[in-house]
Amino acid sequence: MPDGADAIHIEVISEIAQVDAADWNACAGDDDPFISHAFLDALEQSGSAVGERGWLPQHLVARNSDGRVLGATPLYLKSHSYGEYVFDWGWADAYERAGRQYYPKLQCAVPFTPVTGPRLLINQELPAASRNEVAHTLIAGLTEVARRHDVSSLHVTFPTEDEREHLAEADFLPRIGLQYHLHNPGYQSFDDFLAALQSRKRKQIKRERREVADAGLKLRRLTGSDIEPRHWDAFYAFYLRTADKRWGFPYLTEEFFHEIGRRMPERILLVMAEEADGTPVAGALNLIGRHALYGRNWGAIEDYDFLHFEACYYQAIEFAIERGLSRVEAGAQGEHKIQRGYLPVATHSAHWITDPALEQAVDDFLKRERRAVEAQIVGLREQHSPYKHADS
């Protein structure tokens, strides 16, 4: 069997459907549902992540001389900075005020998904030395595509620690961000989780859950074949209503939700809130990884006190405990998550800037930002942790 030591060739594909799903998944693995062929293809086939919406696929595929897929990376040519969760609007504004063109740019990422995971996907069967070679080749491919498109910049968002080291060696600038995750040290029940909290926080969560129950709402956790097309129809209405209330743009099409429901139902947890007569009024979409539960989208057509916390946070915690998952990632932003058990953690990205002047300005900014974010994480953990013990 080839070990990847022969010549590696990089090709650029304009849609993920051009590479066999089994070949892509042999590189992606099955830990992270977002980098699976099914998820990324659903984004494209549904019209959610396509050129017309400013996400033009430019995925890289690395093959050996026999045509075997050794690695791949999800890559998009972007005409804006929406849907990325690592904000570079200030960089774009400054660059364009200086008379230069910031867009298009290249984005190595999972669209609309602020989840840390592999970005340099490498065939799981390759030995360590060959994996490193493929990683370096993919990075060289990324920068070459950037040069050929004559873009201002190339951004790799939410990569793994090993990937960050490879990218730093290739002169990518490191950036740090902040999210809120819940760590499950092995709770056997939701009551075990509550017992780890300070008394005041424990009472608050019990009160919030009781008010949702007293409102006559029923929460249902649906996975696999229990999720029917009618549930996606209802959830999409929730999604649109919430996007409209927040003056946001509904990046995801209705077809996308039906597609992931059809293609990867066992990787989905859909929490639905129903009124006493069975009418669905709110929902929360989560994806299930091997070790983590990932909260992604929420929506509601009726307002109930604390329903958002119940559907998005407490139901997710209960499910993760039942499944033995080690953490719950509740998405971007939200200090209010801390008092509900989700502690701040660092996230990362890496940035390759073509203009030396812009690169220097961004580098200076990132060094200052890193110090501020690191101090913020320490401060939030030390001063606001809801747990009895600081190391929880």
Contacts of 384 (CB under 8 A, 6+ apart): 335, 338, 339
Three-class SS of residue 47?
Answer: coil
Averaged pLDDT for residues 341-345: 96
Cα–Cα dist 34/110, whole Å: 7
Give me the sheet containing 218-223, strands edge to edge.
Answer: 55-57, 76-78, 105-108, 153-157, 343-353, 173-183, 327-332, 292-300, 280-288, 268-274, 218-223
pLDDT at 390: 58
Cα–Cα dist 358/383, whole Å: 37
Q: Which DSSP string corresponds to 262-292? A: HH-GGGEEEEEEE-TTS-EEEEEEEEE-SSE
127 by Cβ neighbours in 10 Å (0-12 / 13-18 / 19+) ranks as: exposed
Would you say residue 199 has pLDDT above 50? yes
CB 156, CB 143: distance < 8 Å: no
pLDDT, tens only, 291-325 = 999 999 999 999 999 999 999 999 999 999 999 99
* Cα–Cα distance list, 143 to 47, 76, 117, 139 (Å): 27, 13, 20, 6
pLDDT at 243: 80
Averaged pLDDT for residues 346-360: 97
pLDDT, tens only, 160-172 = 999 999 999 999 9
Q: Which of 121, 102, 66, 110 is nearest to 260 (CA)?
A: 110
> Which domains does the chain carry?
9-177+347-380 (3.40.630.30), 185-325 (3.40.630.30)
Tokens (6 digits) for 275: 């009124």
Using the Cα atoms of residue 103, residue 109, residue 110 and residue 114 in order, give the sign of their dihedral. negative
CB 25, CB 46: distance < 8 Å: no
> Hunting for tokens 């992604």 — which residue is that?
296
Cα–Cα dist 192/213, whole Å: 20
pLDDT at 302: 94
pLDDT at 2: 42
Would you say residue 173 has pLDDT above 90? yes
Would you say residue 5 has pLDDT above 70? no
Three-class SS of residue 260?
Answer: helix
Would you say residue 330 has pLDDT above 70? yes
Would you say residue 16 has pLDDT above 60? yes
pLDDT at 333: 77
pLDDT, tens only, 67-122 = 999 999 999 999 999 999 999 999 999 999 999 999 999 999 999 999 999 999 99
Averaged pLDDT for residues 235-253: 85
Contacts of 48 (CB under 8 A, 6+ apart): 42, 111, 112, 251, 252, 253, 256
Residue 244 confidence class, pLDDT cut points 50, 70, 90: confident
The type of residue at 273 is A
Tokens (6 digits) for 69: 């897929």
> Hunting for tokens 């859909």 — which residue is that?
270
Residue 392 confidence class, pLDDT cut points 50, 70, 90: low
pLDDT at 1: 33
Q: Which DSSP string corresponds to 340-386? A: GTPEEEEEEEEEEESSHHHHHHHHHHHHHHHHHHHHHHHHHHHHH--
What integer best gives the mean pLDDT of the chain?
95
Cα–Cα dist 57/14, whole Å: 5
pLDDT at 180: 96
pLDDT at 332: 76
Residue 47 confidence class, pLDDT cut points 50, 70, 90: very high
* Cα–Cα distance list, 15 to 18, 45, 97, 111, 120 (Å): 6, 9, 34, 14, 17
pLDDT at 6: 73
pLDDT at 334: 84
Would you say residue 52 has pLDDT above 60? yes
More confident residue, 7 or 162: 162
Would you say residue 11 has pLDDT above 60? yes
CB 360, CB 354: distance < 8 Å: no
pLDDT, tens only, 130-157 = 999 999 999 999 999 999 999 999 999 9
High-pLDDT (> 70) share of the chain, %? 97
Residues facing 122 on adjacent strands = 71
